[in-house]
Structure 1
Amino acid sequence: MSLQPTKDDLDTGITHLEHPKSNSDENDAARRLLIDPKAEKKLVFKCDIHVLPPITVLFFLSFMDRTNIGNARIQGMTHDLQMSGRDYNVALFIFFIPYILFEVPSNLIIKRIAPSTWLSIIMILWGIATLGQGLVTNVAGLIGCRFVLGVFEAGLFPGCVYLISMYYKRYELQWRMSLFFSASILAGAFSGLLAFAIANMAGVGGYGAWRWIFIIEGLLTIVIGLVSKWWIADWPETAKFLNDEERKMLLSRLAQDTQDATMNHWNKGTAKRIGRDWKIHAGTVAYFGVVNTGYAGSFFIPTILNQMGLTAAAAQVRSIPIYVVATITCLTVAYLTDRLRHRYSFTMIGICVATIGYILLLSQQHVAVGVRYFALFLVVSGGYTTQPVTLAWLANNVSGHYKRSVSAAAQVGLGNIGGIVASNVFFDSEAPLYWTGYGVSLGMLWICAAACTVLYLGVKRENKKRDRGDRDWRLQGENVDNLGDDHPSWRFTT
């Protein structure tokens, strides 16, 4: 073997390794490139600048648009719409029905068309649904808008997770995923700040303050959606911000990270391999268990603070520090888990922190108001420590375009059944103690813990089998180039 760099390759930081002729495909050729570290660092930074900002803004707006109903609730929405009984809970959980059903179909669509086209279209449509919530005159209208909102928001989160996973190596992913995910945390803080500012708009145009929350945020989403077609990055193979040399380098480094574990052809074998993958099932259950805490906080924290004796305006403002601290915690953990190349322990730390918070809330009759407020910091920070790690962990442990597409959609889609749970366990009749809500949320956290433990022990055991050569027999079958992470050379992330 000898190094034979060309002048152009030296200029772009790529060196080819000459190998004997073989039947290797493009991935084999890509893996035979040595990449200059300085050129690679520059390329990764360029991807960070072009890939992450637009989808982070989109996710920020999507999470704000789905959870601002919690802020609108204490600004007069329930009174004006004459909501009673379980009306608020129904308005919350109706969103998740289409959101769950359309996740996988949406990710199969985004695989076939440009992400910039698909994401910008659905963003404009869910912006219209958000605006519509500010114009409804009854509960039925609100529920209808929430349903439409779920239809069009369904494709954003799994599509963005899928897009990010196609640009970075496995141990670069958590930091980028958490930067993206932090948008949902900051959305909680910004919603509180915006709702506080909008409180003074009561009566403007004959509308209550709660209506202006939906109208202003809906219009903002529509405007950003109109320009996002020219802002969102497409797949690495077609991204306009990359030149030919950069594209070659990017695909090369990704191929080196994946090695032979590719899955880029859809057939019956592919479908069976994906459907039977226990890792996807474990990752979905883990996300299901922890996502409940994220939604419970967004939907009910303003109400909980209001019932602690704060005015509506004060409750909006007091929610801001909770989400700021959660964002800092989330990003700190993201840096550490990528640097240490380990996921499991960080999921368990987050679960334990949130558990302490729930125990304090369940004991709130015996603790001061300040302790209850502190408990909300623990619950939200602990939940948002674990939630993004479960996403990156599963993405780390599946390989190939199709498998990452389906696994991301399945994890987010089916996992969001936890949002339905969160919508239906906080009963007005139990306010302000919310025994059922806190108790169920605590139990679901430990469902997440159990699933994370299964995933950790399972991949660790599988790595040992592959080290012993127990999976080498798979190389004797057909479609060896489409095995994905079932390929014996693949090693899983713990």
Structure 2
Amino acid sequence: MSLFDKKSPDPDGYPAPNQDEEPLAHEVDWTPQEEAKAKRKLDFIIMPLLTLGFFCLQLDRGNISNAITDNMMEDVGITQNQFNVGQQMLSLGIVLFEIPSNMVLYRVGPGKWLTLQLFLFGTVSTFQAWQNSYGSFIASRFLLGITESGFIPGGLWTLSTWYTRTETAKRVMFFYFGNQFGQASSKLLAYGILHMRGVAGRAGWFWLFVIMGIFTVASGFVLGFFLPDSFKNPHSTFLPRVKIFSEREIHILCTRVLLDDPMKGKKKKRIGRAGFKKALTNWRLYVHVLITLSNNGPQRAFDTYAPSLVREFGFGALSSNALASVGLFLQIPTSWTFSYISDHYNKRGPTVVTALSCHVLGYIFNRGFTELNGVRGAKYFGVVWTQTFGTFSHPLNIAWMSLTCEDSEERALAMAMVIMGANIAGIYGAQIFRSDDKPRYRRAFSVGIGVLAFGLILAIFRYIDDRRLRRKGRRQSTIGPARTSSISHSNQDSEKVGDKAGSPPSEREDPRRQIVDLVK
């Protein structure tokens, strides 16, 4: 049985709700056919809209890597090292405003806030086309980071409110495909758009920012007309009187979520001091944050400079963008396979270790192949390999980390820690590829190998620790029933323990503790 199929054995064993909490008395009064129809309608509304938003975010965040292949740095008048500072400002803006953004979302609702964010960062992305100095470049990257902050955890939080635990894991994967597809598509689209150099006397990168930014703003209208806010306000921002769901559908969708996890009906106003203490004193959470820091720095750096690296191999300036998208498209089925193994077979540690190992190997390939002369096929293979395996250990690590937490408060704080860690990684990662290291980037690849190897060692250490906890939990679960039950009961209990042998002790103690709660 999958981890996400577990339900609380005692859903009524919670204290009475406070005044700011919803009642928890619910029962099933619908047919399976009604539920399937309502859920299918939800899928066709929620999932395409959130994935579209993530797609737009990645287009606007990543199109800068395509722009620099069209001489953007020379046109604006900035050096490569100044460009790196701009990338740092993007990550800094996200880090500083991540929590305030989520506080606003919590108050006004995801329908309104996520729609507004698309308008904001779409507008900033569009006006990047008119940057003409180092100052305007720095300001636009920082503003883009501010306006994009909080969108990803906001999307995750929205999914957790509409879906049950068994359903959310797969939909989170689908949500992240918007990011991966955006990464790949931005480079492929750039190949065509950059051919517009000379139109109206403008550079190709000018049209790249304008077209992709306008597309994001237009997508904001799509979310504004169709994205519902919440169960209490199941209407879109621009059509507040139009019912997206019927009263019956809302009743079914809301009740099934609360039956799956009654804690979702107990919405706390704030996280208490005890929750902060528990999270900040859990050393295992810091290990997962360090794994994220180790993986995401080299990954962000490589993604930014991948088209430029391909261009250095001797490929055309524009075709290098299309070639740099191949590994990102291959990443989509690869990450799906790893995610399926991680979830279905409960192989959290092994999938993270394998993904990090492949990422390290990619940097080793690049470090070695760049020393070869005239073998651009081998060099390009190193780029494709690194792109294919460079990203998805991050969401796998998040899923693994969430199972280390004992309650929703600790999970929410852990999520905040790891997201901030991912963006801090972008700050140092922006300086890995520097101008004095061109064109082979020996130092950059060597630093990447060292940083990734450190993350791999941490993942292996955490996996060994996880196995120790599992063995300890199995022993405790096997000995306990034998002291208090008859032999027949003991045999039955042993079979039950065997079914859960692959789960850490904390999962058996609190079956509600799942990844979908981590953004509550």
**Class of the TM-score when normalised by the shorter of the 2 chains:** 0.7 to 0.9
Mean Cα deviation higher: 81-90 or 249-258: 249-258
Provide the residue aligned with 1:369 in structure 2: 376
1:37-436 equivalences under 5 Å are 40-84=35-79, 86-236=81-231, 238-240=233-235, 241-255=244-258, 257-258=260-261, 264-265=267-268, 266=270, 267-364=272-369, 365-366=371-372, 368-395=375-402, 398=405, 405-436=412-443
| Equivalent AA in structure 1 for residue 277 of structure 2 | K
CA distance in 2, matches of 1:87, 1:329: 35
Residue 103 of structure 1 and its aligned partner are, at CA, apart by: 1.1
> Does the C-alpha gap of structure 1 residues 215 and 462 become closer, same or farther in structure 2, counting only changes over 3 Å?
same
Residue 400 of structure 1 and its aligned partner are, at CA, apart by: 6.5
Residue 435 of structure 1 and its aligned partner are, at CA, apart by: 2.1
Maintained 8 Å contact 2:406/2:513: no
| Equivalent AA in structure 1 for residue 455 of structure 2 | C
> Does the C-alpha gap of structure 1 residues 117 and 401 become closer, same or farther in structure 2, counting only changes over 3 Å?
farther
Residue 276 of structure 1 and its aligned partner are, at CA, apart by: 3.7
Determine whether 1:489 maps to 2:510: yes
> Does the C-alpha gap of structure 1 residues 410 and 110 become closer, same or farther in structure 2, counting only changes over 3 Å?
farther
| Equivalent AA in structure 1 for residue 223 of structure 2 | S
> Does the C-alpha gap of structure 1 residues 179 and 397 become closer, same or farther in structure 2, counting only changes over 3 Å?
farther
Mean Cα deviation higher: 404-413 or 88-97: 404-413
| Equivalent AA in structure 2 for residue 284 of structure 1 | V
Mean Cα deviation higher: 411-420 or 253-262: 253-262
Mean Cα deviation higher: 367-376 or 148-157: 367-376
- What are the Cα deviations for residues 178-211 of structure 1, in whole angstroms up to 9, with x where unaligned? 2211222222222222221122211222211111
CA distance in 1, matches of 2:391, 2:61: 17
> Does the C-alpha gap of structure 1 residues 225 and 466 become closer, same or farther in structure 2, counting only changes over 3 Å?
farther
- What are the Cα deviations for residues 109-152 of structure 1, in whole angstroms up to 9, with x where unaligned? 22222101111112211112111211011121111100100111
Provide the residue aligned with 1:14 in structure 2: none
| Equivalent AA in structure 2 for residue 294 of structure 1 | Q
Mean Cα deviation higher: 258-267 or 437-446: 258-267
Mean Cα deviation higher: 274-283 or 259-268: 259-268
CA distance in 2, matches of 1:421, 1:22: 45
Maintained 8 Å contact 2:92/2:145: yes
CA distance in 2, matches of 1:63, 1:443: 27
Q: 2:25 aligns with which of 18, 24, 29?
A: 29
Residue 449 of structure 1 and its aligned partner are, at CA, apart by: 3.0
CA distance in 1, matches of 2:337, 2:416: 26
Structure 1 unaligned runs (5+)?
Answer: 1-16, 473-484
- What are the Cα deviations for residues 154-196 of structure 1, in whole angstroms up to 9, with x where unaligned? 1111211222234444454443222211222222222222221
What SS does the aligned partner of 2:226 have?
coil
> Does the C-alpha gap of structure 1 residues 382 and 18 become closer, same or farther in structure 2, counting only changes over 3 Å?
closer
Residue 104 of structure 1 and its aligned partner are, at CA, apart by: 1.9
Q: With structure 1 as the length reference, what TM-score do the two structures score?
A: 0.82
> Does the C-alpha gap of structure 1 residues 242 and 255 become closer, same or farther in structure 2, counting only changes over 3 Å?
same
- What are the Cα deviations for residues 317-368 of structure 1, in whole angstroms up to 9, with x where unaligned? 2112221111121122223333223322211221122222111111111483
| Equivalent AA in structure 1 for residue 510 of structure 2 | S
CA distance in 2, matches of 1:172, 1:344: 22
> Does the C-alpha gap of structure 1 residues 198 and 489 become closer, same or farther in structure 2, counting only changes over 3 Å?
closer
Maintained 8 Å contact 2:123/2:214: yes
| Equivalent AA in structure 1 for residue 303 of structure 2 | S
What SS does the aligned partner of 2:324 have?
helix
CA distance in 1, matches of 2:273, 2:10: 36
Maintained 8 Å contact 2:163/2:257: yes
Maintained 8 Å contact 2:54/2:178: yes
> Does the C-alpha gap of structure 1 residues 52 and 275 become closer, same or farther in structure 2, counting only changes over 3 Å?
farther
Maintained 8 Å contact 1:108/1:405: no
CA distance in 2, matches of 1:424, 1:326: 25
What SS does the aligned partner of 1:86 have?
helix
CA distance in 1, matches of 2:331, 2:376: 20
| Equivalent AA in structure 1 for residue 351 of structure 2 | F
> Does the C-alpha gap of structure 1 residues 467 and 322 become closer, same or farther in structure 2, counting only changes over 3 Å?
same
Maintained 8 Å contact 1:104/1:410: no
Maintained 8 Å contact 1:203/1:209: yes
Maintained 8 Å contact 2:173/2:336: yes
CA distance in 2, matches of 1:273, 1:145: 38
> Does the C-alpha gap of structure 1 residues 131 and 256 become closer, same or farther in structure 2, counting only changes over 3 Å?
same
| Equivalent AA in structure 2 for residue 385 of structure 1 | F
> Does the C-alpha gap of structure 1 residues 77 and 261 become closer, same or farther in structure 2, counting only changes over 3 Å?
closer
CA distance in 2, matches of 1:222, 1:392: 32
Maintained 8 Å contact 1:285/1:447: no
CA distance in 1, matches of 2:418, 2:131: 33
CA distance in 1, matches of 2:10, 2:395: 41
CA distance in 1, matches of 2:148, 2:390: 22
Q: With structure 2 as the length reference, what TM-score do the two structures score?
A: 0.79
> Does the C-alpha gap of structure 1 residues 166 and 406 become closer, same or farther in structure 2, counting only changes over 3 Å?
farther
What SS does the aligned partner of 2:418 have?
helix
Structure 2 unaligned runs (5+)?
Answer: 1-8, 236-243, 481-505, 516-520
Maintained 8 Å contact 1:362/1:439: yes
1:441-456 equivalences under 5 Å are 441-453=448-460, 455-456=462-463
Q: RMSD value over aligned CA atoms?
A: 3.5
Maintained 8 Å contact 1:459/1:493: no
Mean Cα deviation higher: 152-161 or 45-54: 45-54
Provide the residue aligned with 1:481 in structure 2: none
CA distance in 1, matches of 2:361, 2:344: 27
| Equivalent AA in structure 2 for residue 375 of structure 1 | G
